Amino acid sequence: MRAVPKRPAAKGSSPKRRAFSKAEAAEFYRRLAASRPIPKTELEFINPFTLLVAVVLSAQATDVGVNKATPALFAIADTPQKMLALGEERLTEMIRTIGLFRTKARNIIALSRMLIEQHGGTVPRDREALEKLPGVGRKTANVVLNVAFGEPTIAVDTHIFRVANRTGIAPGKTPFEVEAGLERLTPAEYKLGAHHWLILHGRYVCKARKPDCPVCVVADLCRYGAKTTPSEMPAELIRARAEAVTPAPLTETSVSRPLGRRARRRV
C-alpha cells in the first residue's frame, strides 16, 4: 500500500509548539514569584463590595483610570446601601471618566439592590451567586473570590490571555480554555498568586505591541517565536536568568529601559 503523503500546513499557520512540562511551569512561576514576592491587585478598594465595584468598572478600562475615580466614590458609598442611596444619576456623574460609564452605573445600582435583597447586603463567597449579579462575569467573579476571599482562582483578562498564549504555558482559543489550562498546569503553591503574577507580567513586560524580552525573567522558557533575537539578547543574560535563584525585581524603570538595548544598537 502506498503511503499517504502528509498534508502540508495551511498557509499562514504556525507549527505546534512544545507544551510546557510540569517542571517548566513550576520554574516559570518560581521566577515570576521571585521578581514580585508580594503579588496584589493594582485596583484600590476598601472591602469586598468596593472591590466588586472596582472590578466591574475596570472592564474595558485601565486600573489607573478606575483608581482616579473611585476614591471620591468610595468615600461616600462603600456599601450596597450607600450606593443605592447615592443613586444612578449621581453615580453616573462620578464615574463619567471611565469607559461605558452609563452601563456600568446602571449595573452597579442593580447589583447593589440585589446584594441587599438576596444576600443581606454582603458580597457572596460563591461563584454562581456572583455571576448572577448584573455586570459580573466569570472573570470578575474570579477576581473577587481570589482577592477578597483568598480563593486560588485564576481570572483570565486580556493580559493573561495574551501571556498564556504567547509564552505557550496555557494556550487556548477562549478565556475559559486558557483558565482551564492554567488550572491544570499551575502548581498548587502558586495558584493563589498566579492571577497577579501573570497579569502584572503582561502589563509591564509581555506587552501587547512590543514585549520587553530582554528584561523578561522567563524568556528562555517562553515559546514565543518572534521574541528578541539572540543577537539582541546575549546568551549570558538568558543563562543568568535561567540559573538565578532570586532574579532581580522587575520595576517600571527597568522595563522602560531594557538592559543595554540602546548601547547594543549603536555598536
- What is the pLDDT confidence band of residue 38, given thresholds at 50, 70 and 90? confident
Cα distance between residue 202 and residue 66, in whole Å = 19
Q: Could you give the C-alpha distances from 230 to 84, 201, 233, in angstroms and in order?
A: 57, 21, 5
Determine the average pLDDT of the residues in 160-173.
96
- What is the pLDDT confidence band of residue 217, given thresholds at 50, 70 and 90? very high
On the question of pLDDT at 202 being above 60, the answer is: yes
On the question of pLDDT at 204 being above 60, the answer is: yes
Q: Which candidate in 104, 157, 212, 227 is catalytic?
A: 157
Whether 157 is catalytic is: yes
On the question of pLDDT at 79 being above 80, the answer is: yes
Percent of the chain at pLDDT > 70 equals 79
**Could you tell me if 224 and 211 are in contact, meaning their C-beta atoms sit under 8 angstroms apart?**
yes
Cα distance between residue 40 and residue 239, in whole Å = 29
On the question of pLDDT at 142 being above 50, the answer is: yes
On the question of pLDDT at 189 being above 60, the answer is: yes
pLDDT at residue number 243? 55
Whether 6 is catalytic is: no
pLDDT at residue number 17? 76
Cα distance between residue 10 and residue 239, in whole Å = 35
Please give the residue that has the higher pLDDT: either 264 or 130.
130
Cβ contacts of 25 within 8 Å, gap of 6 or more: 169, 185, 186, 187
Residue 145 phi, psi (nearest 5): -60, -40
Cell of 242: 535561567
- Decide: pTM greater than 0.75: yes
pLDDT at residue number 248? 41
Could you write out the DSSP letters of every residue in 154-179?
A: ----HHHHHHHHHHSSS--SSHHHHH
Q: Which candidate in 139, 173, 207, 227 is catalytic?
A: 139
Q: Which of 169-173, 246-250, 262-266 has the lowest mean pLDDT?
A: 262-266
Cα distance between residue 194 and residue 187, in whole Å = 9
Distance, C-alpha 152 to centroid of its chain = 14
Q: What is the 3-state secondary structure (H, E, C) of 32-72?
A: HHHHCCCCCCCCCCCCHHHHHHHHHHHCCCCHHHHHHHHHH
**CA-closest candidate to residue 68, choices 107, 89, 108, 97:** 97
- What is the pLDDT confidence band of residue 255, given thresholds at 50, 70 and 90? very low
Cα distance between residue 198 and residue 202, in whole Å = 6
Looking at every residue in the chain, the average pLDDT score rounds to 85
Could you write out the DSSP letters of every residue in 88-122?
A: HHHHHHHTTTSTTHHHHHHHHHHHHHHHHHHHTTS
**CA-closest candidate to residue 36, choices 163, 205, 152:** 205
pLDDT at residue number 260? 38
pLDDT at residue number 261? 38
On the question of pLDDT at 14 being above 60, the answer is: no
Helix (H, G, I), strand (E, B) or coil at 219: coil
